Amino acid sequence: MRFGVDEAGKGPVLGSMFAAAVLADPDDLPEDVGDSKGIAPDRRQLMADEIRAVAERVAVAEIPVWEIDDEKTDMNTLTVEAHARALSRICVDGRTVRKNGSDELSGFVDAGDTNAVRFGQRLRDRIDADLDLRAEHEADENHRIVGAASVIAKVARDAHVDALSAKYGPVGSGYPSDPTTREFLQAYVETYDELPDCARESWQTSKDALAAAAQASLDAFE
């Protein structure tokens, strides 16, 4: 029995970041579990259901846009916080308690920092539990339990983006490199002269959309 933690949505200009923690026997997980980015969306959704069916505990934590835009923090700190919130939710009285009453104290997290050791220590400092956790780069590829967390987090992020599309119309993936996302931001700012609530205003893509709209307004008066 192990726990795994990973996040999805660290880099988008639109919407929240999500982290997931999964406590399960890695041998019970789907054979094709792994880094969610390499799994087709339809399969990810089915796999998430399969993971939840065999896991002892699954928890998801959300870091909303207003937290991401807080000038007092940064994305590395928020990634640690997201992992901590998710991991804390599978703990009971400071322990990851299994159904049979024994303790499960070890697991892996995908390091959201260039320094994996530092990321792991920062995470331990935020968890009020005696856990043996190891932070590694590419943990979602190297450890099935972290791959399971990656899938759960990505499905939560996908559902979030779907909800944004239902509210605003097509927003794309939310990533700055996505033309649909950039077009959505540009059109919204041109129409309303402000960013949508779902946009991370501290991201350069958002600043560029505002600057382009302002320049367009100036050009219109020339």
Binding-site residues for a divalent metal cation: 6-7, 110
- Work out the number of other CB atoms within 10 angstroms of the CB of residue 216: 12
Cα 21 from Cα 107, distance rounded (Å): 10
The sign one gets for the Cα dihedral 131, 78, 122, 38 is: positive
Q: Which of 63, 47, 51 is nearest to 25 (CA)?
A: 51
Return the structure tokens found at 150. 């990656």
Decide if 22 contacts 3 (C-beta within 8 A): yes
Number of alpha carbons in the 13 Å side-chain half-sphere of residue 76: 10
Q: What strands, in cross-sheet order, belong to the sheet with 106-110?
A: 57-63, 17-24, 2-8, 106-110, 132-136
Largest Cα span, the chain: 75
- Residue 116 CA to residue 98 CA, distance in Å, equals 28
Residues flagged as binding site: 6-7, 110
Q: Are 154 and 13 in contact (CB under 8 A)?
A: no
12 phi-psi bin (left φ>0, alpha ψ -120 to 50, beta other): beta
